[in-house]
Each structure stands twice: as C-alpha cells, then as structure tokens.
Structure 1
Amino acid sequence: MIINSAERLLAESATGDISTRAVCEAAGVTQPVLYRHFGDKDGLLAAVADHVWENYLSAKRSTKNSDDALEDLRRGWDNHTAFALENPHAYRLVFGTALAARPAAMGEAMKLLVGITSRLAAEGRLLLGPEQAARVIMAANSGLALGLILRGDADQDPKQASYQSREATLRGILSGAEASASPAAQAATTLRAQLAESSDFTPAEAYLLNEWLDRFQAGNKTK
C-alpha cells in the first residue's frame, strides 16, 4: 500500500519529488510506520524505483534471445529508452540521483546487458570485453534517456535521437566499426569471452591466461 501510493504520487508529481507526509496520508499510515519499513525517504524512493522497474525487467527476463545478438542489443536499447520516457521520475531515481539506498534495478539491468555483450564477444564481434562494452552502452543509453527527459526539446524527435546515439555507440564497440582495433586484439577479446565459458582451466591457469591476454591487447593498441 505504501509503495503503491508513493508510486502514484511520483508519477503525478510535476517535479519528480514527493514528501513522506503526502505518502503517509495517501496510504493511510503514520510516518513512524513508513520509517519502520523503509528506514528513511531514500529507502522509500529506492523501493519505489525497484517496484516500477520490476515490470520492465520482468519483461526482459522473459524475452527469448533471437539468433542475432546485435538485433537483441538494438531492441534492448530501444526498449530502455521507451521505458525511460514513459516513467521519467522512476528512471531518474535509478540513473539521475544519488540516493543513499541504491535501487537494485541498476545491477540487474547491467547483468542482462552483459549477457548480450558476452554473446557478441563470443562471436568475435566486439572490440571490447563484454563488461566494458556493457558499461559503454549503458552510459550512452542512460545519458541519452536522461537528456531526453530533462531537456524535453519539442523540436527533437526522440526516436531519431535515440537511433543516432545507438548507432554511434555501436560503431564504437563493434569489430566492423571505423575505429577498429587490430585483428589480433579483436581475436584476444573473442578468445577471452569463449574461455570464460570453459571449465578446462584451473583458477591459476585462467588468471595467468587473462594476464597474458591483457598484455597482448595493451601491446596491440599502440601498433
């Protein structure tokens, strides 16, 4: 009841801010009850953010992968942007605020994204490692979404802006991009991704191999 009331007030808010007093009045509880459940306002807002994000993340969890990881990545970007524009205040709670109590949604969203970039890396289609590529994509996608939310530029087509940002980001991380790494460095990225799925190495062997690949990729960046 408290989270549902807070979610409704957040969606109706013109500024994206809500007071605990208003939430308590809407939910029919006292403030001590609210604080007992959530600790403080940040705890409440983090819970609200996770509640709103759950519908989005549950849909992503249940979506079956296609045969093309790149198209799955593009679809994920578009869905992310659409969700942000439909739920601007809840989106900002995760990506645009510094809550003391961090929503869990960010971590799960990144985990799902790494799953897609790992598929791309295993296919030899990434210039970067899966985790680094996921961080680049998430930073670009969330930055674009926050920009669309905060600016609200009536002259800007959100779909076109999202498309341009998405494709520019992909050109920077995919092996067919103009700013490409050497074939040797690309091969090292692919090998690392495939070895991550292997159980043929001891932890010590895997650590040593990763160190060699790090040195190899670093050396090829300067050639």
Structure 2
Amino acid sequence: MRLEAITWERLADRLAERLLDLKPADGSPWPRVALDGAPAARPQDLAELLAEALRIRGRPSRVVGTHGFLRPASLRLEYGREDVEAYYNGWFDTNALWREVFGPLEPGGDGRILPDLRDPVTDRATRSPYVHLPPGGVLLLHGPLLLRHWFPFDLSVHVLLSPAALRRRTPETDHWTLPAYARYEQETDPAGTADVLVRADDPRHPAWSGFQG
C-alpha cells in the first residue's frame, strides 16, 4: 500500500472535511469515528486535533477514550497484572461502551452519552455527568483494539506502528501487552480494514493512505 507524507494538522483537516459530508449508513444523525491504535501510537492526540478541526468548521464533537471504560481491577486483573489473554478480551468494558456511548447515538437516540465510567488510576467510578451531543455532532472514540468489537463506526482510522517502533515506544513495564497487539494485527487486520491508515513510526513525520475503499 502506498502511503503519502502528511502533517498531523493536515491529516486532521482532511478527516474533518470528510466528516462534514459523511452520512451514517444506519440513519443516525451522529457520525461515529474510531481513532484506533496502541497507547504508544497516541491516537488520543489525533482525536484532539480532529476535534479542534471540526470545531473551527462549526461542527461539535466529543472525544471519548476507552481508558475511561476499564472494567474494575478485581475483574481485569483476576489472572494477574500481566495476563495477555485478559488484556485482549477482558480489560475494556465493551458492554458499558455499547450502553452509555453507542446506544444513545443510535437512530432515535437522545444523544446523551457518558464520557467516562471509571478512573483508571484510582479504580473508582468517576461519577461524571452525562453530556449531550447534538444531532450532527461527532463521536471521536480513541483507544486500542477498537476494530474487533463490531462497534458501528462510520469512519475508522488506524494509527500503525511497526513491531520495532511499537516495542521502542512502549514503556518496558508494558512490554507484556505487545503479544496482544500482534494478535490483533493477525486476527483483525486493522491496517487493511480501517478506512484510513496512518503510519507513525516517526511521530514527527506521519504518512497516510488516503481514504481506502
């Protein structure tokens, strides 16, 4: 696949322009966007840039991170702090994301979403208030392993790191998670299935695929 050099700011602009005309296939008035990537790829940074690019175009959005929807530590760490299978299948509360984020944005929904559920540091409920995303507002969900859950995304962006870059940019204390990302690549092929692929081995010089498909 041929990739073209681009800046992060220009990438956000291109994505924002596409979203201005994007109509969700299921008739929802809320476009839902995945910013998918391992923590070392920092998909949250792109989500924030995209939110700003939408704002200056008069389009509201809401950035939500899956790190705010971790399952309680008693469940996700049941088999130890470095269990790859648990990380891959059980760390993130996908049921809560369906219920509190995607459900309200379905056709006929009220747009009232919960921005986070649990503090990843304290392991306590955040008790954050619900926020209202007006019709036409865009959900920007960022986090790892997003494209394997059948979430109803209208646009998906995968921020890719080569195995060497992923290892280099992941803190050594988190190297135990690397097999989960290798498995994700094999089973889900996010680089091939995402609407937009961004390679970020050098974070100063990203390259992108354009809009695939």
Instruction: Report the structure, 1 or 2, having the larger helix content.
Output: 1
If the length of structure 2 is used for normalisation, what is the TM-score? 0.28
If the length of structure 1 is used for normalisation, what is the TM-score? 0.27
Q: Which structure's CA Rg is the greater one?
A: 1
Instruction: Report the structure, 1 or 2, having the larger strand content.
Output: 2
